[in-house]
A and B are shown apart, each in its own frame.
Chain A
Amino acid sequence: MNQTHKITLMLHEWSDGNREALENLMPLVYAELHKQAARYLRRERQNHTLQTTALIHETYIKLIDQREVDWKNRAHFFAIAANLMRRILVDYARTKHREKRGGDALTLPLEEAALVINDEKDIDLIALDEALNHLAEIDEQQSRIVELRYFSGLTLEETAEALNISRSTVAEDWAMAKAWLRRELTR
Chain B
Amino acid sequence: MGQENWRQVKEIFGDALQQTPEERPNFLDRVCRDDKKLRSEVESLLASFDDATSFMEQPAAEKVASLIIESKHLEMGKRFGHYEIIKQIGEGGMGEVYLAKDNKLDRKVAVKILNEKFANHESNLNRFILEAKAASALNHPNILVIHEIGETDDIHYIISEFIEGETLRERLGKSVMNLGEVLDISIQIANALTAAHLAHIVHRDIKPENIIIRPDGFVKVLDFGLAKLIGQKNRSLIGLDESTLKQNDTAKGVIMGTINYMSPEQAKGEQVDERTDIFSFGVLVYEMNTGQTPFASDSISETFANLINKEPLPLARFAANVPNELQHIVAKMLRKNKDERYQTIKGLLADLRELKENLSFEEKLERSAPPNNENATAILQATTGDVNKRTAETQHSFLQPIARKPFAAFLFAAFFVAVVGFGYYFFVANNNVTDSDANPLKSIAVLPFVNESGDANFDYLSDGLSESVIDRLSQLPQLKVIARSSSFKYRGENIDIQDAANKLGVQVIVTGRIIQRGDNLSIRVEMVDARDNRQVWSEQYNRKTTDAFAVQQEVAQTVSEQLRLKLSGAQEQKLAKRDMVNPQAYDLLLKGRFISGKGGTDNKKKAIEYYRQAVAIDPNYALANVYLAGSYRALVGHSVLNPKEFNPKAKAAVQKALELDPNLPEAHLMIGHQYQDDWNWAAAETEYKRAIELNPNLVAARNNYSFYLSIMGRHDEAIAEAGRTKELDPLTLGNRVAFGLALDRARRYDEAIAEFKKILEVDKNYYGAIYWLSYAYLDKGMYREAIDSFQEAIRLGGDNPSNQIYLGASYAKAGEREKAQAILKQLETSNEYVSPGELPVLYVALGDHEKACASFEKAYAAHDLQLQFLKVDPSFDPLRDDPRFQDLIKRVGLP
Chain A interface residues (CB < 8 Å from chain B)? 26-28, 30-34, 37-38, 40-41, 49-50, 52, 55, 85, 88-89, 91-92, 95, 103-107, 109-110, 123, 125, 138-139, 146, 149-153, 172-173, 175-176, 178-183, 186
B474 to chain A, nearest CB (A): 38
CA distance A50 to B59 in the complex (A): 11
B9 to chain A, nearest CB (A): 8
Within B36-83, the residues touching A (CB, 8 Å) are: 44-46, 48-49, 51-52, 55-56, 59-69, 71, 73, 75-79
Does residue B518 face the partner (Cβ distance < 8 Å to A)? no
Q: Which of B52, B65, B77, B250 contacts A178 (CB 8 A)?
A: B52
B416 to chain A, nearest CB (A): 56
Q: A88-B64, A109-B248, A109-B250 are in contact. Are A181 and B56 (CB under 8 A)?
A: yes
CA distance A173 to B13 in the complex (A): 10
Q: Which of A28, A38, A52, A106 contacts B61 (CB 8 A)?
A: A52
Interfacial chain A residues near B67, Cβ < 8 Å: 88-89, 92
Q: Which of A28, A50, A123 contacts B65 (CB 8 A)?
A: A50
Interfacial chain A residues near B60, Cβ < 8 Å: 85, 89, 123, 125, 150-151
Interfacial chain B residues near A85, Cβ < 8 Å: 60-61, 64
A38 to chain B, nearest CB (A): 5
Interfacial chain B residues near A104, Cβ < 8 Å: 93, 115, 117
Contact assessment for A34 and B59 in the assembled complex, using a CB-CB cutoff below 8 Å: no
Contact assessment for A106 and B93 in the assembled complex, using a CB-CB cutoff below 8 Å: yes
Closest to B233 in A: A106
Q: Which of A27, A49, A182 contacts B48 (CB 8 A)?
A: A182
Q: Which of A27, A103, A107, A146 contacts B76 (CB 8 A)?
A: A27
Interfacial chain B residues near A138, Cβ < 8 Å: 1, 3, 6
Does residue B251 face the partner (Cβ distance < 8 Å to A)? yes
Q: A106-B251, A176-B45 are in contact. Are A146 and B69 (CB under 8 A)?
A: no
> Which of B44, B52, B61, B248 has the largest number of chain A CB atoms within 10 A?
B61
B2 to chain A, nearest CB (A): 10
Contact assessment for B247 and A41 in the assembled complex, using a CB-CB cutoff below 8 Å: no
What are 28 A-B residue pairs whose CB atoms fall within 8 Å in the complex?
A28-B77, A31-B76, A38-B68, A41-B66, A52-B59, A52-B65, A88-B64, A88-B67, A89-B64, A95-B71, A95-B73, A104-B93, A104-B115, A105-B250, A106-B250, A109-B247, A109-B248, A146-B56, A149-B56, A152-B59, A153-B62, A172-B17, A175-B14, A176-B14, A178-B52, A182-B49, A183-B45, A186-B48
B300 to chain A, nearest CB (A): 15
Interfacial chain B residues near A176, Cβ < 8 Å: 10, 13-14, 45, 49
Does residue B296 face the partner (Cβ distance < 8 Å to A)? no
Interfacial chain A residues near B1, Cβ < 8 Å: 138
Interfacial chain A residues near B17, Cβ < 8 Å: 172, 175
Contact assessment for A105 and B55 in the assembled complex, using a CB-CB cutoff below 8 Å: no
Q: A27-B87, A106-B250, A180-B45 are in contact. Are A55 and B55 (CB under 8 A)?
A: no
Closest to A84 in B: B76
CA distance A92 to B84 in the complex (A): 19
> Which of B6, B60, B69, B93 has the largest number of chain A CB atoms within 10 A?
B60
Contact assessment for A175 and B49 in the assembled complex, using a CB-CB cutoff below 8 Å: yes
Interfacial chain A residues near B248, Cβ < 8 Å: 105, 109-110
Given A55-B64, A109-B251, A183-B45, 20 more pairs with CB closer than 8 A: A26-B76, A27-B86, A31-B84, A37-B65, A37-B69, A38-B68, A49-B62, A50-B64, A89-B60, A95-B73, A103-B117, A109-B247, A110-B248, A123-B56, A123-B60, A146-B56, A150-B60, A176-B49, A179-B45, A180-B45
Interfacial chain A residues near B75, Cβ < 8 Å: 30, 88, 91
CA distance A95 to B116 in the complex (A): 13
Contact assessment for B77 and A31 in the assembled complex, using a CB-CB cutoff below 8 Å: yes
Interfacial chain A residues near B117, Cβ < 8 Å: 103-104, 107
Interfacial chain A residues near B495, Cβ < 8 Å: none
Contact assessment for B13 and A179 in the assembled complex, using a CB-CB cutoff below 8 Å: yes
Closest to B2 in A: A138
Does residue B155 face the partner (Cβ distance < 8 Å to A)? no
Contact assessment for A37 and B247 in the assembled complex, using a CB-CB cutoff below 8 Å: no
B215 to chain A, nearest CB (A): 19
- Give how many B residues have a beta carbon under 8 Å from the other chain's beta carbons: 45
B699 to chain A, nearest CB (A): 36
CA distance A143 to B13 in the complex (A): 17
Interfacial chain A residues near B316, Cβ < 8 Å: none
Interfacial chain B residues near A182, Cβ < 8 Å: 48-49, 51-52, 55-56
A173 to chain B, nearest CB (A): 8
B242 to chain A, nearest CB (A): 15
Q: Which of A139, A146, A183 contacts B44 (CB 8 A)?
A: A183
Does residue B254 face the partner (Cβ distance < 8 Å to A)? yes
Task: Write out, one digit per residue, whether chain B residues 173-211 have a CB within 8 A of any chain A CB (1) or not (0).
Answer: 000000000000000000000000000000000000000
Interfacial chain B residues near A153, Cβ < 8 Å: 59, 61-62
> Which of B3, B46, B56, B63 has the largest number of chain A CB atoms within 10 A?
B56
Contact assessment for A123 and B55 in the assembled complex, using a CB-CB cutoff below 8 Å: yes
Interfacial chain A residues near B6, Cβ < 8 Å: 138-139
A40 to chain B, nearest CB (A): 6
Closest 6 A/B residue pairs (Cβ): A31-B77, A153-B59, A37-B65, A179-B49, A30-B77, A109-B248
Task: Write out, one digit per residue, whether chain B residues 539-553 have a CB within 8 A of any chain A CB (1) or not (0).
Answer: 000000000000000
Interfacial chain B residues near A152, Cβ < 8 Å: 59, 61
CA distance A148 to B75 in the complex (A): 21
Q: Which of A34, A139, A179, A186 contacts B68 (CB 8 A)?
A: A34
Q: Which of B48, B55, B254 contacts A106 (CB 8 A)?
A: B254
CA distance A183 to B49 in the complex (A): 8
Contact assessment for A33 and B62 in the assembled complex, using a CB-CB cutoff below 8 Å: no
Interfacial chain B residues near A33, Cβ < 8 Å: 68, 77
CA distance A106 to B65 in the complex (A): 33
Closest to A26 in B: B76
A66 to chain B, nearest CB (A): 22
Within B265-317, the residues touching A (CB, 8 Å) are: none
Interfacial chain A residues near B55, Cβ < 8 Å: 123, 178, 181-182
CA distance A186 to B10 in the complex (A): 20
CA distance A172 to B15 in the complex (A): 9
Interfacial chain A residues near B59, Cβ < 8 Å: 52, 149-153
Interfacial chain A residues near B45, Cβ < 8 Å: 176, 179-180, 183
Interfacial chain A residues near B13, Cβ < 8 Å: 175-176, 179
Task: Write out, one digit per residue, whether chain B residues 11-49 have a CB within 8 A of any chain A CB (1) or not (0).
Answer: 001100100000000000000000000000000111011
CA distance A25 to B55 in the complex (A): 32
B382 to chain A, nearest CB (A): 44
Q: A34-B78, A172-B17 are in contact. Are A150 and B65 (CB under 8 A)?
A: no
Interfacial chain A residues near B71, Cβ < 8 Å: 92, 95
Q: A89-B60, A123-B56, A176-B45 are in contact. Are A37 and B87 (CB under 8 A)?
A: no
A65 to chain B, nearest CB (A): 20
CA distance A38 to B115 in the complex (A): 26
Q: Which of A52, A95, A172, A181 contacts B62 (CB 8 A)?
A: A52
Contact assessment for A183 and B68 in the assembled complex, using a CB-CB cutoff below 8 Å: no
CA distance A49 to B63 in the complex (A): 9
Interfacial chain A residues near B56, Cβ < 8 Å: 123, 146, 149-150, 178, 181-182
Interfacial chain A residues near B86, Cβ < 8 Å: 27
Closest to A36 in B: B65
B522 to chain A, nearest CB (A): 26
CA distance A172 to B87 in the complex (A): 37
Contact assessment for A172 and B14 in the assembled complex, using a CB-CB cutoff below 8 Å: yes
Interfacial chain B residues near A31, Cβ < 8 Å: 76-77, 84
Contact assessment for B10 and A151 in the assembled complex, using a CB-CB cutoff below 8 Å: no
B666 to chain A, nearest CB (A): 37
CA distance A172 to B18 in the complex (A): 10
B176 to chain A, nearest CB (A): 32
Interfacial chain B residues near A103, Cβ < 8 Å: 117
Interfacial chain A residues near B73, Cβ < 8 Å: 91, 95
CA distance A64 to B775 in the complex (A): 53
CA distance A109 to B240 in the complex (A): 14
B848 to chain A, nearest CB (A): 56
